[in-house]
Structure 1
Amino acid sequence: MSKIALIGFDADDTLWKSEDYFREAEATFLEIVGRYEDVSASAQALYAIQSRNIALFGYGVKGMVLSMIEAAVEFTNARISAKDIHRIVEIGKAMLDHPVELLPGISDAVRQVAESYPLVLITKGDLFHQERKVAVSGLTEVFQRIEIVSEKNEASYERLFKEFAVDPAEFLMVGNSLRSDIAPVIELGGMGIHVPYHVTWVHEHAEISAGIERFRTAHSAADIPAMIQALAESPTP
């Protein structure tokens, strides 16, 4: 009998592309402010402003755009034009309108896993934007619950365990972010499969101790079902 009672999947950069668009937006932003000042250190300064604002704006495109506007005023000593502020707003609008591009093989992998286990989608970010992406992804029906949270930390996962009446040891999380998807679950006693994406926001970096049997790394979506099965059949630590 499987020891897994519930499986969670992350959304951005696990099911579909996301961080690529943020990197492109950042590059366009730096090109705009670069007309006013040297931007050699601006990427790090922008991240500092974004990190400071997460508690106010949350994650996602809208919070990023507000931080970009604040940064643009700061970097240019308030010399940035209204036209260029508008360009920054347009960056955000374009991102919100991006099509949802599923990652290779992930649809088949998720559907295969859903044949054996109940699934929940757990993502963070702007509510309206995330709801739209989920709705057009074509995967809505495979998930028993869609959870859009302000932060993915131990408290968020503990609420999920309570709602689904599952023990942490019976839960497995699949995602690209060690910080948000894997580390909190491992810390609570659950299982995690890290699916690295080719680019990850620095805010999501973390370390997982080597040798933890409850933690695996999948280098492609096709590896996920077999890894889940292996974890389900592995001896309880």
Structure 2
Amino acid sequence: MTTQIDRLTTSGWSTCEPIAALVRSRGLPAITREYLLAEFSPETWERAEDATHALAKHFAGARFADEVEYGVLLVPDPHFLDTRRALPTELRGGDVVDERLPAGVALPATRPWQLVVSVIGSYGPSLGSYNEVTASDDFVVLGQDTRQWMTRQVWGARVLQCGATPPDCEHNERWTFTLFPGEELVDGQAESGTVLKGKVRFRLGKPNRGIGSARVAPALLIDVQ
């Protein structure tokens, strides 16, 4: 539990000033140790720890599994900060969002911040194309279908939490993009997210594209009031 909390309090939510300023301006509680311990019970943190180990074990055989780091991801209520959409240009220089994209799936908004266990590092596992992932029967972990929250919102929160070293970015050792099997196809095309030239890009592409740079981010929702 201590490690998970320490990671969050030193994440982009708190230590990357443009992101921390955005959190303040939107009226979200600051991510401090005191806040996290008061907002989420010890039992919730224990469930998060168990979920972290369960995800790592379940997907240990995936391609590039050795590159993947799982842990706690904080996702803001979209009424405060909507990570499914383009963010202010002063933060990222103008995100690129396909105009055909709908509003997108949102987590249950029961708190200012929702606690999810998912991929928290630069790379998710490679588990095939959108079509292959959605057709599989091997994504249930601890009774939850981990594809449900493979969404634009959760990935958008991950980008901000990672701060100065965002996932799926061309400045990482290798460039990747993350598929969102938790979102429906749009005009027969699959949603994905990547970071290029400092801008988040929410794009549409072929649902049968299963190249190595196509990644996913299995996720478990931990606490819902």
**TM-score of Structure 1 vs Structure 2, range by shorter chain:** under 0.3
Name the one with the larger helix percent: 1
State the TM-score, normalizing by the size of structure 2.
0.26
> Which has more radius of gyration?
1
> Going by fraction, where is strand more abundant, 1 or 2?
2
